[in-house]
Amino acid sequence: MLDKIKLAIAFIIVIAGIWGFYQLGASPMIARVGAILGGIVVALALAWTTEQGKRFYAYTQDAITETKKVAWPTRKETMQSTGVVVAFVIVMAVFLWIVDALLAWIVELMIGSGGV
């Protein structure tokens, strides 16, 4: 129950930061943006202390660990893959252009062009 109260308060703090942004309409933009960012930072700090916040932190740590295990492609492999994709796109563009021109020609033959 305490976690739900903390999350509700964090939400209210974010809303208060947004409210502060609009209330500080005559103030410099840095103060207005500071109100929003301050509200978000305080809300995140409060939410971090909840069980959901701790689980989220553990999740992000696990995600970072898994990302480090990924076998990223080398520069050469990336360039080769990009080349294949670009070549495929060019071939498909030419193919679709030919099909479009052919279908337009067929429709023109069926409808008939020129005067009556």
Residue-wise pLDDT for 42-97, tens only, equals: 998 988 888 888 998 999 999 999 999 999 899 999 999 999 999 999 999 999 99
Question: CB–CB of 11/43 below 8 Å?
Answer: yes
Do residues 12 and 62 share a domain? Answer: yes
Residues 43 and 77 in one domain: no
Considering the chain, what is the average pLDDT of its residues? 91
Q: pTM of the entire structure?
A: 0.49
Give the domain range for residue 28. 2-69
Question: Is residue 17 classed exposed, middle or buried when 0-12, 13-18 and 19+ CB atoms within 10 A define those classes?
Answer: buried
Do 50 and 77 lie in one domain? The reply is: no
Looking at the 3D structure of the chain, how many domains does it have? Answer: 2
Return the pLDDT at 92: 98
Separation of alpha carbons 107 and 16, rounded Å: 63
Residues 55 and 13 occupy one common structural domain = yes
Q: Supply the pLDDT for residue 114.
A: 55
* % of the chain residues with pLDDT over 70: 97
Distance separating alpha carbons of residues 45 and 17, to the nearest angstrom = 14
Asked whether residue 54 falls in the same domain as residue 35, the answer is yes
Do residues 6 and 46 lie in contact, with contact meaning Cβ atoms separated by under 8 Å?
A: yes
The pLDDT score that the predictor gives to residue 112 is: 80
Same structural domain for residues 37 and 20? Answer: yes
What is the reported pLDDT for 88?
A: 98
